[in-house]
């Protein structure tokens, strides 16, 4: 890669932040063309996720990651989305290592771990 994902994401976030809604489509088209010229187009999904995270954090939103051993039910997913605000990013991830329960991480820092793996670990320490 010519530049790191973080560098690309920061640049995309800054340009998107300064652009009007009408200009965003053109900005994205030019950004993808740049990635094609530099040969970095395969990193586009990572760049877009990172840029979205940067924009959310700048506007006061949160990144919420829900890890569970099995897919969330529709009812559980709806409950978690109600807790998230309109500026918040919400991502689900399957993690069979949790055995059962869930782990909620906010902004990659604060964590609520209600998994069986953690409970078993505390029991046998």
- Non-local (6+) Cβ contacts of 32 within 8 A are 41, 44
Check: CB of residue 67 under 8 Å from CB of residue 90.
Answer: no
Kindly report whether the global pTM for this prediction surpasses the value 0.85: no
Report how far residue 49's alpha carbon sits from residue 14's, in angstroms, rounded to the nearest whole number: 14
Stated length of the chain: 125
Q: Is the pLDDT of residue 12 over 80?
A: yes
pLDDT for residue 7 = 92
Residue 119 has a CB neighbour count (10 Å cut-off) of: 14
Query: pLDDT for 64-103, tens place per residue?
Result: 889 988 898 888 888 888 888 777 878 889 988 888 888 8
Asked whether the beta carbons of 8 and 53 are under 8 A apart, the reply is no
The full set of domain ranges for the chain reads 5-58, 63-123
Tokens of 15: 């340009």
């Amino acid at each position: 890669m010519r530049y790191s994902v973080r560098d690309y994401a920061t640049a995309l976030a800054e340009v998107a932040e300064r652009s009007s809604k009408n200009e965003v489509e053109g900005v994205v088209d030019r950004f993808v063309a740049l990635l094609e010229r530099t040969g970095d187009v395969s990193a586009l999904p990572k760049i877009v996720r990172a840029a979205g995270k940067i924009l959310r954090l700048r506007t006061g939103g949160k990144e919420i990651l829900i890890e569970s051993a099995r897919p969330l039910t529709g009812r559980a997913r709806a409950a978690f989305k109600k807790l998230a605000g309109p500026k918040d990013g919400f991502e689900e991830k399957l993690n069979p290592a949790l055995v059962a329960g869930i782990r909620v991480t906010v902004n990659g820092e604060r964590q609520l771990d209600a998994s069986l793996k953690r409970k078993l670990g505390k029991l046998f320490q």
